[in-house]
Amino acid sequence: MNAPEKREFQAEVSQVLDIVIHSLYTDKDIFVRELVSNASDALEKLRHLQLTGNEVHGPDLSLEIRLTVDEEARTLTLADHGLGMTREELHENLGTIAHSGSKAFLRNLEESARKESALIGQFGVGFYSAFMVADEVTVYSRSWRPEGESLVWTSDGKTGYEIAEADEELERGCRIVLKLREDCADFAKADRVRSIVESYSNFVAFPVMVGEERVNKVEAVWRKKKSEVTDEEYKEFYQFSAKAYDEPRYRMHFNADSPIELNALLFVPAENTELWGMGQMEPGVSLYCKNVLIDDKPAGLLPDWLRFLRGVIDSADIPLNISRESMQDSSLVRKLNRVVTKRFLKFLDGEAKDDPDKYKEFHAKFSRFLKEGVVTDFEHREGLAKLLRFESSLTDPGTLTGFEDYLVRAKDGQDKIYYLSGPDRVSIEAGPYLEALKARGLEVVYFFDTIDEYLLQHLREFEGKTLVSASSSEVELPEDAALETSGEPLAEEAMTALCDFLQTELGEQVEKVAPGKRLVSSPAAVLAPAHGMSAQMRQMLQAMNPGEPLPPQKVELELNPRHGLVHALAAAREADPDLAKLAAAQLLDQALLAAGLLEDRVGLVDRGFRLMEAALKKTAG
């Protein structure tokens, strides 16, 4: 027999152990759930191997989970005839943390004061929870592989672990013995353990035995009728299947016979952990065929932007032996994908209408996924766009609306949806672009999120109406007799001369200078050229390439022929050309500033002082 092999834990594992033992878990009971859930996973995988024709060691062993206690010895033992582990797997699974999300999670945890037990379990640190209650853990393991060894893994959860060959030939699977700490002796009582299993592990798909007694029901909730499942059962099932501790935000349960036979039970979790900087969520909807797990994280089952969903899709039509690789190529899986995604979008649409306040909370946390979908998933773009919510020039601050409602309010014959993007409502409303549309009673959608720029590049229309930026030169506004304007417009000839003068003065910076109809109270505004980059896009580009010059921008400058400043500038052009030149440069810079497009601020301040001086001298003189 070889000598036992001693190893130290990977640094991250020690960190997890430290957290697990000292701070994170306040509710010790949950270690039972973590270990039962691991056993259940191992059994699911074993069953799948068997059903797809693999030779496994000990083919007749029963697929159940057994918990036994020994009060006198102060031990709790959990045993399963699941996959078991080879030597390498023991090192890999019980000595390191591979999952990058867990590492990111740990980093986050250290930095923030957020030590919520609700998070653990989701991050693959489940097994180590055993050390909350035990000062020694022994794992007897024999892999399903024919060449597997009988091994014993032991650790005190402090520095490292040891792997040795077992004294006897082991049966397939894992047997985990917890030598309980003195203050945790309670977990060596059958009643205590039974009640924990009842409350946490009711939905395990294999019998869970505490002593000789079977504790759980073993049933596939997703294949039952809605009327047969209570809210509490749904919640328990969610928490079990998603390895979560929160309340699901939404749940959708449906069965269909055509175009494909399927049962689906899907949940939206309470939180979007991606917003906490925890990295991308992993897809969490498992694929089953008639209650048998095919894959617990199938990559191509649902679109990537639905990775926040948890739950189960079960279809009798899916072949059991479908491989991870062929999943995305399978036309059946694609069909499932399409059917379920459509249903889910319809479901959200219904929720948004039935309970807008609840939907608003969902939107605040999960809208990034919907937007990602608009950008990446052409097939569902329209359905997703319908689900987006935003403020607009007609909503109160903080109140949201959607494109469908926008179109209900739109004017007869209006074939565009107008929008403006900016950091917040105040900056958008202070800009020069809104006034003309507002004056004409046209609603303008506001976009505040940085990723909205990407969104808008892909979302060009909604129900046949083109989306246009109100700051774009594409926007042509009708002359409106009823429009409240004050002052006489500058004579056409003088206006043309002024435009020519500005064009010459401003040279490279402007593509075009022209009188416009959109301005009500501002003297001038720059318009983003139809196919140019928006201010937000330029800022993003700059942030991504610090220090690199941006491509030069050319804007259109629109003048308000009724504005006093425009009249005065036209007069100064002849009376005081130097002052007029100074004012021309300042006019453009201020218009760029208002549009968020001013990148070179040096001239602005100096010119401002010189213009003030000139104005004040006139008054004084």
Does 144 sit near ligand ADP (CB under 6 A)?
Answer: no
Which of 93, 79, 101 is closest to 13 using CA atoms?
Answer: 93
Q: Is 127 in the site for ligand ADP (CB under 6 A)?
A: yes
Using the contact rule CB under 6 A, the part of the chain among 32-40, 283-291, 489-497, 517-525 near ligand ADP is 32-40
- Contact flag: residue 79 with ligand ADP (CB under 6 A): no
Do you know the residue count of the chain?
A: 621
Query: By rule CB under 6 A, what count of residues binds ligand ADP?
Result: 17
Q: Give min distance, CB of 67 to ligand ADP, in A.
A: 12
**Host H or E run for residue 374:** helix 356-376
Q: Is 85 in the site for ligand ADP (CB under 6 A)?
A: yes
**Candidate ranges 121-129, 162-170, 233-241, 288-296; the one touching ligand ADP (CB under 6 A):** 121-129
192, two tokens: 């205590």
Between 89 and 304, CB nearer to ligand ADP: 89
Our CB check for ligand ADP shows the closer of 124 and 283 to be 124
Cβ distance to ligand ADP smaller for residue 127 or 447 = 127
Q: Select 89 or 449, whichever has its Cβ closest to ligand ADP.
A: 89
Instruction: Decide if residue 539 touches ligand ADP (CB under 6 A).
Output: no
Q: Does residue 150 interact with ligand ADP by CB under 6 A?
A: no
- In whole angstroms, the minimum distance from the beta carbon of 212 to ligand ADP comes to 21
Q: What is the DSSP string of 330-372?
A: -HHHHHHHHHHHHHHHHHHHHHHHH-HHHHHHHHHHHHHHHHH
Query: 286: part of which helix (H) or strand (E)?
Result: strand 284-289
Of the residues 14, 52, 77, 93, which one makes contact with ligand ADP according to CB under 6 A: 93
Task: Output 295 or 435, the one with its CB closest to ligand ADP.
Answer: 295
The least CB distance from residue 544 to ligand ADP, in Å, is 35
Stretch that binds ligand ADP, among 125-133, 217-225, 401-409, 564-572 (CB under 6 A): 125-133
Element containing residue 289 per DSSP (H, E): strand 284-289
Rounded to 10 deg, the angle between the 577-594 and 564-575 helix axes is 150
What count of Cα atoms within 13 Å lies in the side-chain half-sphere of residue 357?
Answer: 0
Stretch that binds ligand ADP, among 77-85, 249-257, 279-287, 464-472 (CB under 6 A): 77-85
Smallest gap from residue 173 Cβ to ligand ADP (A)? 7
Q: Give the C-alpha separation, 391 to 88, whole Å.
A: 55
**Burial level of 354, CB count in 10 A (0-12/13-18/19+)?**
exposed
Asked whether position 157 contacts ligand ADP by CB under 6 A, the answer is: no
Residue type, 536: Q
Minimal distance, residue 94 CB to ligand ADP, in Å: 6
Question: According to the binding rule CB under 6 A, does residue 39 interact with ligand ADP?
Answer: yes
CB of 470 to ligand ADP, least distance (A): 50
The burial class, CB within 10 Å (0-12 / 13-18 / 19+), for 111 is exposed
Question: In whole angstroms, how close is the CB of 5 to ligand ADP at the nearest point?
Answer: 18
Residue 366 CB: number of other CB atoms within 10 A? 21
Helix orientation angle between 190-200 and 231-241, rounded to the nearest 10 degrees: 100
Binding to ligand ADP by residue 273, rule CB under 6 A?
no
Determine the residue with CB nearest ligand ADP.
Answer: 126
Contacting range for ligand ADP; rule: CB under 6 A; set: 76-84, 189-197, 355-363, 611-619 = 76-84
Whether the Cβ atoms of residue 153 and residue 161 lie closer than 8 Å to each other: yes
Partnered with residue 468 across adjacent β-strands are 418
- If the CB atoms of residues 89 and 219 are measured against ligand ADP, the closer one turns out to be 89
Q: Measured in whole angstroms, how far is the alpha carbon of residue 590 from the centre of its chain?
A: 38
12 vs 599, which CB is nearer to ligand ADP? 12
| Interacting positions 169-188 with ligand ADP (CB under 6 A) | 174
Among 20, 30, 83, 209, binds ligand ADP (CB under 6 A): 83
Among 76, 125, 170, 388, binds ligand ADP (CB under 6 A): 125
Q: Which of 17, 36, 76, 126 binds ligand ADP (CB under 6 A)?
A: 126
Q: Closer to ligand ADP at the Cβ: 177 or 400?
A: 177
Q: Is 263 in the site for ligand ADP (CB under 6 A)?
A: no
Identify the DSSP state of 167.
Answer: S
Cα four-point dihedral sign 246, 247, 250, 255? positive
Q: Are strands 262-268 and 292-295 parallel, antiparallel or unpaired?
A: unpaired
Closer to ligand ADP by Cβ: residue 43 or 587: 43
Q: What are phi and psi of 481, to 5 degrees?
A: -60, -35
Q: What are phi and psi of 239, to 5 degrees?
A: -65, -35
Give the chain's end-to-end CA distance (angstroms, integer).
Answer: 108
By CB under 6 A, tell whether 38 contacts ligand ADP.
yes
Tell me which of 21, 124, 389, 519 binds ligand ADP, using CB under 6 A.
Answer: 124
* Neighbouring residues of 174: CB distance < 8 A, sequence distance ≥ 6: 39, 42, 78, 79, 80, 82, 84, 85, 139, 140, 141
42 binds ligand ADP (CB under 6 A): yes
Alpha helices (H) in 377-402, listed in sequence order: 381-385
Tell me how far, at minimum, the Cβ of 268 lies from ligand ADP, in Å: 21
Quick check: 80 binds ligand ADP (CB under 6 A)?
A: yes
Sign (positive/negative) of CA torsion 11, 16, 19, 22? negative
Q: Which of 435, 364, 430 is nearest to 400 (CA)?
A: 364
* Three-state secondary structure of 422-437: CCCHHHHHHCCCHHHH
Integer Rg of the chain from CA = 33
Q: Of the ranges 33-41, 55-63, 394-402, 562-570, which one interacts with ligand ADP (CB under 6 A)?
A: 33-41
| Sites of contact with ligand ADP (CB under 6 A) | 34, 38-39, 42, 80, 82-85, 93-94, 124-128, 174
